[in-house]
Amino acid sequence: MSLPKRPKSAAERKARVIRILSALNERYPGATCALHHNNAWQLLVATILSAQCTDERVNKVTPGLFRKYPAIEDFAAASQQELARDIHSTGFFNNKAKSIIGAARTILNDFHGEIPRDLEALLRVPGAARKTANVVLGTAFGIASGVVVDTHVTRISRRLDLTRESSPVKIERDLMKALPRENWILFSHQIIHFGREICIARKPKCPICPMTGFCYSEDRVPV
């Protein structure tokens, strides 16, 4: 099977990125964050819980969790041992409980109970590494602080040759250069849907992929 040719010039690479974004926009025009939440604090908690855990599992845990701890003050006053039991099924529960309680106390003490809308400030909150901060700022506030890089974004951005890096920080840097800023937030949501539906890790569904005409990944399935 012959693969599409790689673009050689900067103009050709830019045109290909536009085709990728157009394909994603056509298939997933209204893609949103898969984590259920009602406000920025709940989204921060859910994103912390999502580390090494599926969104589906997190969405099963958070309704009961937010009923038990309805306000950020309730999390700040929580027993770490009890909170760890409450989130046990999400994995790494001791570290996550410590992060969530630390986040609640930091936000109350340092930010007057408001989730900071600045990347550098949000990175000071326990549990809010760059990926988490980008999720919260992008989804809760519409602030394009960067590109969320999860396992789907890592795998697919490499398959699409938008990056050749393996480090999330370097992958994000490449994506921020390749993508228009107005696409930074939506791109990650779209890629996550795309990765679950079509560009699956072990056996991508290339015959039905809208990008097959300009994807030259070496592990693509013959069409």
Which sequence spans correspond to the domains of the chain? 10-30+147-214, 40-141
User: Is the separation of the CB atoms in 45 and 65 below 8 Å?
Assistant: yes
- What pLDDT was estimated at residue 223? 65
The reported pLDDT for the residue numbered 218 is 83
Residue 221's pLDDT band, with cuts at 50, 70 and 90, is confident
What pLDDT is recorded for position 219? 82
Tokens (6 digits) for 130: 């760059």
CATH number of this structure's domain 10-30+147-214: 1.10.1670.10
* Whole-number pLDDT of residue 47: 98
Q: Quick one: which of 202, 214, 185, 189 has its CA closest to 17?
A: 214
Q: Which of 60, 150, 161, 174 is catalytic?
A: 150
- In tens, the pLDDT along 133-164 reads 999 999 999 999 999 999 999 999 999 999 99
**Is 14 in the active site?**
no
Fold of 40-141: Endonuclease III; domain 1 (1.10.340)
pTM of the model: 0.93
CA dihedral in degrees (178, 55, 95, 111; nearest 10)?
A: 70
* Half-sphere exposure in the Cβ direction for 67 (13 Å, CA): 5
Distances, alpha carbon 14 to alpha carbons 5, 7, 21, in Å: 15, 9, 11
Alpha carbons 45 and 67: distance in angstroms, whole number: 13
131 catalytic per annotation: yes
Q: What residues have CB less than 8 Å from 89, skipping those under 6 apart?
A: 57, 60, 61
